[in-house]
Amino acid sequence: MRADAVAVRSEEERQGVGPLLRPLAEGQRPLRQQVFERIRAAGTLARVQIAKDLGVSPASVTAVTSELMETGLIEEVAVSRDGDAAGRGRPPVALGVRPDARHVAGIKISDREHTAVVVDLAGRLVASASVTERLAGRSLPDLLEAADALLVRVCAAAGVARADLSAVGLGVPGFVDAAAGVVHWSPVLRERDVPLAAAVAERLGLPVHVDNDANLVALAELWFGAGRALSDFAVVTIEHGVGMGLVVNHRLYRGARGLGTELGHTKVHLDGALCRCGQRGCLEAYVADYALAREATTALDWSYADGRPMGVVLESLFDHAKAGNGAARSIFRRAGRYLAIGLANVVNLFDPDLIILSGERMRYDYLYAADTLAELSSLVLPASRPLPPIEVHAWGDLLWAHGAAALALSAVTEGMLGAGGGREGISA
Ligand SMILES: [Zn+2]
């Protein structure tokens, strides 16, 4: 055969093998976005370091950073060199995100307290606001009213006009389809399947992105907290329900239909206790607030507890456990054993670098005791390496709202610089 002959392939041979990635699919962000996100993550970063980190030529970095500077998204920043004697010529220059180029808000609506933050494009906190009140009617108009009032307050505190916000991230507890912006179920809404992102966007006159509490806590840890340097970690939240936010390869994992990582509804008992979702044997039917309260009313014969707010019943249960009440303690011990099953499943499935238990500390003082850890070790596949660290992080007041702001910030970044977002947003 001549060297320049065209090879013939059958139809089958022309199918190829290997993953069929979409052009510029997830993880293959355009260079301009990669450069921008690297600068934001580093705080300040020199061009030469960007080229090294991304494995591209200094010329490509210069071209991209010039474009980002022209559009006002980044700026040159003087960095002082340690031990540098004054007057030795031009100070070294790095690049930083121009903080005031954009602002976003993050809002958390829960059944007890609403919080909001405004952060700038560099991710720095500009202002925060919080309101302690119940959403009495649990209706959509109530929620819209609460979000609007909170936004007015936080914008005033930030000195940023609402119209100058690029996006709002909104967190609610419950089942949320983040991609569709739909809340299938939430304790703060009586209605089901509410297209919340669209409704709030219409009310606020701004682009809105919604997600559930566990995903936003995971995002907050990924952007601002213990998860910044970790590629794979899980956040487990226990409150009214049990939620999980899972970060895989530095990104939040949502599943194909946006319904993944519902740890609370993984089954830990065949034909077990009845769950709020209508099924039996779910993890949260053993460890969530309502499960503990249900046990308390039965085991402690607290008939008076019927009709009382859940928080009051739980406070009382904690108090009894602290005072040494055997029945109250055994309720927590049993719930802790179920929690151990749930966490062992997370370890066996995902082998994360770290598991963060997020919520009120007091709950974990009882649920996550020495017994739980021992139980957990016995349920995890034996390995030569120790268990991943499991840390309790108390809910910071603003943690969840920070996660909502990170959601908004990543959407704004994607819109400005991403592959799908086009470039409409880039001209400031
Ligand atoms: Zn369930």
In three-state form (DSSP H/G/I as H, E/B as E, the rest C), the secondary structure along the chain is CCCCCCCCCCCCHHHCCCCCCCCCCCCCCCHHHHHHHHHHHHCEECHHHHHHHHCCCHHHHHHHHHHHHHCCCEEEEECCCCCCCCCCCCCCEEEEECHHHCEEEEEEECCCEEEEEEEECCCCEEEEEEEECCCCCCCHHHHHHHHHHHHHHHHHHHCCCHHHEEEEEEEECCEEECCCCEEEEECCECCCCECHHHHHHHHHCCCEEEEEHHHHHHHHHHHHCCCCCCCCEEEEEECCCEEEEEEECCEEECCCCCCCCCHHHCECCCCCCECCCCCECECHHHHCHHHHHHHHHHHCCCHHHCCCCHHHHHHHHHHHHHCCCHHHHHHHHHHHHHHHHHHHHHHHHHCCCEEEEEECHHHHHHHCCHHHHHHHHHHCCCCCCCCCCEEEEECCCCHHHHHHHHHHHHHHHHHHHCCCCCCCCCCC
Give strand pairing partners of 200: none
Distance CA(110)–CA(98), nearest Å, equals: 33
Task: Give residue 341 CA to ligand 1 midpoint distance, Å.
Answer: 15
Residue 21: per-residue pLDDT: 73
221 pLDDT band (50/70/90 cuts)?
very high
Q: What is the pLDDT of residue 90?
A: 65
Tokens coding 204: 């606020």
| Closest-CA residue to 419 (of 21, 28, 20, 73) | 28
What is the CB neighbour count within 10 angstroms for residue 249?
Answer: 9
Q: In this model, does residue 425 exceed pLDDT 50?
A: no
Q: Does residue 237 have a pLDDT over 80?
A: yes
Please say if the pLDDT value at position 15 is more than 90: no
pLDDT at 362 over 80: no
Averaged confidence pLDDT in the chain: 88
Buried b (16+ CB within 10 A) or exposed e, 350-372: bebbbbbbbbeeebbebbbbeeb
Q: How far is the CA of 199 from the centre of ligand 1 (A)?
A: 27
Q: Residue 187 has what pLDDT? A: 85
The identity of residue 128, as a single letter, is S
Residue 282 has pLDDT above 90, yes or no: yes
Distance 406 CA to ligand 1 centre (A): 29
Distance 213 CA to ligand 1 centre (A): 17
Please give the average per-residue pLDDT across 227-250, as a whole number: 92
Distance 52 CA to ligand 1 centre (A): 48
pLDDT in tens, 79-137: 876 655 555 666 688 999 999 999 999 999 987 789 999 999 999 999 999 998 877 67
Ligand 1 midpoint to CA 214 (Å): 16
Tell me the CA–centroid distance for residue 54 and ligand 1, in Å: 44
pLDDT in tens, 19-62: 787 765 555 789 999 999 999 999 999 999 999 999 999 999 99
Higher pLDDT, 267 or 427: 267
The Å distance, Cα 18 to ligand 1 centre, comes to 37
pLDDT score, position 295:
86
Residue 210 one-letter amino acid: V
List all residues 6 or more positions away from 93 whose beta carbon is below 8 Å from its beta carbon: 46, 76, 77, 78, 79
Residues of the chain with pLDDT > 70, as a percent, come to 91
Q: Which of the four pLDDT bands, split at 50, 70 and 90, describes residue 421?
A: low
For the segment 313-326, the average pLDDT, to the nearest whole number, is 87
Rounded to the nearest angstrom, the distance between the alpha carbon of 182 and the centre of ligand 1 is 19
Whose CA is closest to 346, among 238, 214, 245, 229?
Answer: 245
pLDDT at 14: 81
Q: Is residue 428 over pLDDT 60?
A: no
For the segment 171-179, the average pLDDT, to the nearest whole number, is: 91
112, 289 Cβ separation under 8 angstroms? no
What confidence tier does 422 reach under pLDDT thresholds 50, 70, 90? very low
What is the whole-number distance in angstroms between the Cα of residue 276 and the centre of ligand 1? 6
CB-based contacts of 276-281 (< 8 A; 24+ apart in sequence): 276/241
Ion ligand 1 residue ranges (Cβ < 5 Å): 265, 275, 277, 279, 282
How far does residue 372's CA lie from ligand 1's centre (Å)?
22
Of residues 274 and 312, the one with the higher pLDDT is 274
Distance 279 CA to ligand 1 centre (A): 5
Please calculate the CA angle 208-133-308 and round it to the nearest 5 degrees. Answer: 125
Indicate if the pLDDT at residue 359 is higher than 90. Answer: no
Ligand 1 centre and the CA of 287: distance in Å?
Answer: 12
Higher pLDDT, 179 or 371: 179
Q: How far apart are CA 321 and CA 332, in angstroms?
A: 8
pTM of the model: 0.89
- Cβ atoms 138, 189 nearer than 8 A: yes
Residue 288 has pLDDT above 80, yes or no: yes
131 Cα: distance to centroid of ligand 1 (angstroms): 30
- How remote is the CA of residue 273 from the centroid of ligand 1, in Å? 10
